[in-house]
């Protein structure tokens, strides 16, 4: 049995102070020890979300016998852990040990990016004050993980439930450090399901004061060569963006980098700048699939002009086009791995419409999992999706004291069973 709770606001300054005095490698254990001391907890665990998004890994446990790290992979589908991540609400569940105790499971999330879960085992019947303390500690833990993962590979190790090839290592390092982001005007999330031989897909986003930058790219080829080409394109785009270049110049620099350094290879790409004050979208399409827009329950392709891919010689610059977003719109950007081979058996427009009630985090995952299922778990090309929800240009106060906007969170039920779940 699991019970859902709302929790109050606040910070956990005592835990922050204790963590600051410890080594970055020990920060999660310090949180566990502090909660055990403060609340009389029998055991405390941090479960980090793995790279696939289909499971969590129990990275650290503090119990009566002390502290240590345990490599236990826990599936999300059909479990209370998955319910907590999707709803972003704390849950109380019976102890699995049959000792009459209970487990309090809280989301560890920052701005909609689901980092993992905090699980605290207590003797029985938690008071609301205890639930508030655990919820605050979980939110604090999100900031602790973000701050300390710069100094140690511990958190990367925990996310890897399968070995990564060299190409996959390069590819994952090109992705934004947080795969999801929530703000007053929007929520965005990306999902990349790599092929067995990595196909060179990437996605990226960055938030300026008045603009949201988005990009999805697909470098030709497979394995290390494709990953290196992807690195070239992403590096050129990020360098231009960080230099304050407009969209036309970003495209020009990516194209020039491919011409000069790719050895004749090419990469497709879709670049967007979303104006946060008006919802206007500037867009460059370099040989990429059209984006799909969900508006008022109807899904349609944005059939804008398609330029040649980056790296294909041409005397013409890439064209910057414009469209607009209206409050309530969802924009889905994808790579051709979502369309190739058996992926074509997936009715993407119907699936996009059918997952409209999900947060972009779960919607993007549902789309890539559907394509993985259609290909019986063996993709010929990477399948990548970015999902953007546009709430409107007027700043809206986010009820996000636990790290996520509860008003925009997904329901507990997940509409698609992951392929690997059998």
pLDDT of residue 394: 79
- How is 326-388 classified by DSSP, letter by letter? -TT-EEEEE-GGGTSGGGGGS-HHHHHHHTTTS-HHHHHHHHHHHHHHHTTT--SS-EEEEEE
Q: Are 261 and 233 in contact (CB under 8 A)?
A: no
- Residue 253 exposure: Cα atoms within 13 Å on the Cβ side: 19
Q: Is the pTM of this model over 0.95?
A: no
Residue whose tokens read 């941090």: 46
Neighbours of 196 (CB within 10 A): 12
Neighbours of 206 (CB within 10 A): 15
Q: Are 226 and 167 in contact (CB under 8 A)?
A: yes
What does the buried/exposed string (b/e) look like for 55-90 if buried means 16 or more CB atoms within 10 Å of the residue's CB?
bbbbbbbbeeeebeeeeeebebbebbbbbbbbbbbb
| Residues of the chain scoring pLDDT < 50 | 5-11, 63-70, 421-422
pLDDT of residue 15: 82
Q: What are phi and psi of 250, to 5 degrees?
A: -60, -45
pLDDT of residue 98: 64
Residue whose tokens read 């104006």: 275
- How is 274-330 classified by DSSP, letter by letter? EETTT-EEEEEEES-PPPEEEETTEEEE-----BPPBTS--SSPPPPEEEE--TT-E
Q: What are phi and psi of 276, to 5 degrees?
A: -75, -15
Quote the CA–CA distance of 200 and 178 in Å, as a whole number: 19
Between CA 384 and CA 388, with CA 387 as vertex, the angle to 5 degrees is 150
Residue 290 CA from chain centroid, whole number = 22
Contacts (Cβ under 8 Å, ≥6 apart) of 315: none
pLDDT of residue 173: 94
- Listed residue (265, 279, 187) closest to 233, CA to CA: 265
Quote the CA–CA distance of 150 and 156 in Å, as a whole number: 10
Q: Are 324 and 338 in contact (CB under 8 A)?
A: no
Neighbours of 407 (CB within 10 A): 10
The domains found in the chain, sorted by start residue, are 2-158 (3.30.450.40), 165-391 (3.60.40.10)
């Amino acid at each position: 049995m699991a019970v859902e709770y709302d929790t109050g606001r606040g910070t956990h300054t005592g835990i922050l102070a204790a963590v600051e005095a410890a080594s970055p490698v020990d920060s999660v254990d310090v949180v566990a020890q502090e909660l055990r001391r403060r609340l009389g907890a029998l055991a405390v665990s941090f479960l980090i979300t793995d790279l696939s998004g289909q499971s969590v890994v129990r990275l650290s446990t503090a119990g009566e016998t002390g502290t240590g790290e345990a490599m236990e992979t826990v599936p999300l589908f059909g479990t209370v852990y998955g319910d907590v991540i999707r709803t972003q609400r704390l849950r109380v569940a019976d102890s699995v040990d049959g000792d009459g105790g209970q487990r309090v499971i809280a989301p560890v999330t920052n701005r909609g990016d689901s980092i993992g879960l905090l699980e605290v085992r207590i003797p029985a019947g938690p008071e609301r004050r205890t639930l508030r303390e655990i919820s605050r500690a979980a939110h604090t833990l999100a900031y602790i993980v973000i701050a300390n993962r710069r100094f140690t590979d511990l958190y990367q190790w925990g996310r890897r439930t399968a070995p990564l090839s060299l190409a996959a290592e390069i590819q994952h390092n090109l992705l934004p450090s947080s795969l999801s982001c929530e703000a007053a005007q929007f929520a965005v999330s990306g999902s990349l399901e790599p092929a067995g031989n990595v196909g060179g897909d990437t996605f990226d986003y960055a938030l300026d004061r008045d603009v949201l930058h988005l990009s999805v790219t697909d470098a030709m080829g497979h394995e290390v060569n494709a990953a290196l080409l992807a690195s070239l394109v992403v590096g050129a785009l990020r360098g231009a963006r960080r230099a304050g270049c407009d969209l036309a110049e970003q495209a020009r620099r990516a194209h020039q980098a491919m011409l000069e350094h790719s050895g004749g290879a090419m990469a497709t790409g879709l670049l967007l700048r979303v104006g946060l004050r008006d919802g206007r979208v500037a867009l460059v399409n370099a040989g990429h699939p059209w984006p799909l827009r969900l508006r008022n329950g109807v899904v349609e392709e944005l059939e804008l002009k398609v330029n040649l891919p980056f790296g294909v010689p041409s005397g013409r610059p890439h064209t910057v086009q414009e469209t607009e977003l209206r409050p309530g719109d969802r924009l889905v950007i994808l790579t051709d791995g979502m369309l190739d081979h058996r992926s074509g058996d997936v009715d993407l427009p119907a699936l996009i419409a059918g997952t409209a009630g999900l947060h972009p985090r779960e919607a993007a995952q549902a789309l890539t999992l559907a394509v993985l299922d259609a290909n019986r778990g063996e993709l010929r090309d990477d399948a990548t999706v970015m999902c953007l929800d546009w709430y409107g240009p007027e700043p809206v106060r986010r009820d996000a004291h636990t790290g996520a906007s509860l008003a925009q969170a997904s329901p507990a039920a997940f509409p698609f069973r992951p392929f690997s779940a059998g």
